[in-house]
Amino acid sequence: MTYQELVQKIVDLQNDGLELFNAGKSVLGKNLLGTHLGSYEGNQIVIQGCIHAREYITTLLMIEQVKYLHSQGLNVSGGIYFLFMTDPDGVEIVLDGINSAPCEITKQYLILGNNNSTNFSQYKANINQVDLNTNFDADWGQGTQNVFCPNSENFCGFYPESEREVQGLVNFTLKNRPLLTISYHSKGEVIYYGFQGESAENLERDRQIGTRLSEETGYQLILTENSTGGYKDWCVRKLQIPAYTIEVGRSELPHPIGIEYLPEIFEQNRYVPELALGLANEYASQIKSAKIVNINTKERKIKNDSYARSGFNGAKSFQNRRSTSWSSNHQK
């Protein structure tokens, strides 16, 4: 498969009546293509893939997910943003080789950071040799595998959000304010959740939602440790929402994972987007209910304080009657 053939698979979604949009630009000016399913009203989630160049199997997976959901219709309220390829410049290098680089100086720069090899099949970074999933402003540069010099993998950049692709994804996420995000990676058949510094309450929320995703895919749920600067980490830290990294493909498969494994991976992840949106709706409803309880509690306290200040001796019994009545109605 060539890079243009991969992009064409995304573009061909328009033949099915889907609209494409640009979530931003790559360093070399390529569009970060995406589409939206469902309603723009209500809760939204974001699913993004291929932030690592060699992991373009995740782009192919998301295309299949979009086709399936579009043909079946979304059965839950809200909408899903799909961002197919966050590192298009890197993907082009992996699929088309070093000669796809724009100039001789760039070619030499890339080869030098690739251990002086012209084989880019294992390449993860963008055209600047920054590992985009270490470049987000979430304990940037503190990961155990981070390196601080341009490299084919793990270089976190010279400062957080230095890369155009990361800036585009950050701006898109802040604009659309999703209630949950999923980042597709390969490989290992695991789901990572949580991030250091997260509150115990939010961590338990994330674990519960992650457990449902784990049951659906059959992938192991793992708490994130010693990894920083990722998109998932940034979503947890900055937006305080549940966010997950899903690693598709069996661990024994070689990078890049071949297209022949796509049917197996798709079957494991067929229902993940719709399930994730449904789970986001569930926890959003819980938050709304909790706010209603809090508002009612504050209103009761204000009224009771007012009776007390006016010298009404029955303030305590009034509070008890109100509390009992509200609890009864709430339980219904």
Q: Which segment of 84-98, 228-242, 260-274, 276-290 scores lowest on mean pLDDT?
A: 276-290
Average pLDDT estimate for 289-316 = 47
- Pick the residue with more confidence: 303 or 109? 109
What is the average pLDDT across 55-71? 98
% of the chain surpassing 70 pLDDT: 86
Confidence class for position 322, pLDDT limits 50, 70, 90: very low
pLDDT above 70: residue 128: yes
User: What's the pTM value of the predicted model, to 2 decimals?
Assistant: 0.87
pLDDT value at 240 more than 80: yes
Return the pLDDT at 140.
95
**What pLDDT does 121 receive?**
97
Residue 305, pLDDT score = 53
Mean pLDDT value across the chain: 90
Rounded Cα distance, 288 and 187, in Å: 37
Average pLDDT on 10-17 reads 97
Q: Residue 286's pLDDT band (boundaries 50, 70, 90)?
A: confident
- Range 5-32 average pLDDT: 98
Q: Confirm if 32 and 24 have CB atoms less than 8 A apart.
A: yes
Task: Quickly state the pLDDT bin for 31 (edges 50, 70, 90).
Answer: very high
pLDDT at 301 over 90: no
Q: Is the pLDDT of residue 50 over 50?
A: yes
